[in-house]
């Protein structure tokens, strides 16, 4: 991981950081771990859009798939 995390001595994560917006993710806050990347809830839509960008199609152009 390329960002520092604050951990308890027993290895529990106290605070993390979203890899898209850089926002703090506090203990108890939910987040997504996708392919090893930490993504906060607010960034999930942006991440998904980026992830599936190659699958974006436009109606009426060429043929429907
Ligand atoms: Zn985020």
Q: Reply yes or no on whether the pLDDT at 3 is more than 90.
A: no
Does the residue 27 lie in any domain?
yes
- How remote is the C-alpha of 15 from its chain's centroid? 15
| Domain of residue 10, CATH code | 2.10.110.10
pLDDT grade, residue 2 (50/70/90)?
low
Full residue range of the structural domain in which residue 14 is found? 6-55
Arithmetic mean of pLDDT over the chain:
83
pLDDT grade, residue 15 (50/70/90)?
confident
Is residue 9 classed exposed, middle or buried when 0-12, 13-18 and 19+ CB atoms within 10 A define those classes?
Answer: exposed
* Residue 4 alpha carbon to ligand 1 centre in Å: 16
How many structural domains compose the chain? 1
* Residue 59 alpha carbon to ligand 1 centre in Å: 31
Does the residue 48 lie in any domain?
yes
Is residue 32 classed exposed, middle or buried when 0-12, 13-18 and 19+ CB atoms within 10 A define those classes?
Answer: middle
* Residue 39 alpha carbon to ligand 1 centre in Å: 6
* Residue 60 alpha carbon to ligand 1 centre in Å: 34
* Residue 58 alpha carbon to ligand 1 centre in Å: 28
pTM of the model: 0.65
């Amino acid at each position: 991981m390329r960002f520092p995390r604050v951990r308890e001595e027993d290895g529990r994560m106290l605070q993390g950081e979203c890899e898209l917006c850089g926002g703090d993710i506090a203990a108890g806050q939910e987040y997504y771990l996708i392919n090893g990347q930490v993504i906060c809830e607010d960034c999930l839509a942006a991440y998904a859009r980026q992830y599936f960008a190659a699958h974006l199609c436009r109606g009426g152009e060429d043929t429907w798939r």
